[in-house]
Amino acid sequence: MFLDGQKVGLRPVREEDASIFQEWMNDPEIIQYLLIYLPITLAAERQWIENTNKSKDSIVLTIVTKTPIDGKPIGNVALVTINKKDGHATLGIVIGDKDYHEYGYGTEAARLMIGYGFNQLNLHRINSSALAFNKRSINMHLKLGFKKEGRQRQKIFKNGKYADEVLFGLLREEWKK
């Protein structure tokens, strides 16, 4: 395990995860909150995993359960566009298995990844965002200590209409508190 929490562990993405990732990324209920629009093929998902594992400026990890079924993939968490010079990155997270929504799995996975970003990567800040209608994500960010830093009005076209994107930031000194 790469990072270990109470409910979840984070491990590198694997080629054998491709079919479950594809299932999540083609589920309208899941992707309504993501910046994905087209159906994703298994070949495209495999290519994404290969590219992810080669990336020098991103860390993408699979969220796996610790109980009741140890090692079951339920989502992904990432730090992308890692800028070592300026000390910042962007957090992204998805819980693709809907049976694990609303139980704190995503919050714990995000907390583990944020801790890794500040403690191991020596980041100064972590950026993130959520679509304004994604109340679960907004609440998670606030619970983790992120500050709302802005709103880009009608930025993303989802579900037949434009949605605002809420921007968040978390500084290392805020996290330490």
Classify residue 151: in a domain, yes or no: no
Average pLDDT score over the chain: 94
Classify residue 158: in a domain, yes or no: no
- Please report the pLDDT score of residue 156 as a whole number: 93
Classify residue 154: in a domain, yes or no: no
- Type and span of the H or E element at 37: none
**Total of domains in the chain:** 1
- Please report the pLDDT score of residue 95 as a whole number: 97
Sheet holding 73-83, edge to edge: 3-4, 8-12, 59-65, 73-83, 88-95, 125-131, 161-171, 147-158
CA gap 33, 130 in Å, rounded: 8
- Please report the pLDDT score of residue 36 as a whole number: 79
Instruction: Give the CATH number, domain containing residue 118.
Output: 3.40.630.30
Prior bond of 68 cis (ω within 30°): yes
Classify residue 59: in a domain, yes or no: yes
* Residue 112 pLDDT > 60: yes
CA gap 90, 84 in Å, rounded: 12
**What one-character-per-residue DSSP string does 13-31 give?**
--GGGHHHHHHHHT-HHHH
Classify residue 167: in a domain, yes or no: no
Classify residue 101: in a domain, yes or no: yes
Out of 38-42, 76-80, 104-108, 131-135, least confident range: 38-42
Our measurement of the distance from residue 40's CA atom to the centroid of its chain's CA atoms, rounded to an integer in Å, reads: 18
Q: What average pLDDT does range 146-168 have in this prediction?
A: 96
Classify residue 157: in a domain, yes or no: no
> Which among 100, 113, 52 has a CA at the least distance from the CA of 72?
100
- Please report the pLDDT score of residue 176 as a whole number: 81
Residue 112 burial (C-beta neighbours within 10 Å; 0-12, 13-18, 19+):
buried
CA gap 132, 71 in Å, rounded: 32
Q: Which domain holds residue 34?
A: 3-124
CA gap 160, 123 in Å, rounded: 37
Phi, psi of 93 (to 5 degrees): -150, 145
> Would you place residue 39 in the very low, low, confident or very high pLDDT band (cuts 50, 70, 90)?
confident
Classify residue 36: in a domain, yes or no: yes
- What are 155's two structure tokens? 């930025």
pTM listed for this prediction: 0.94
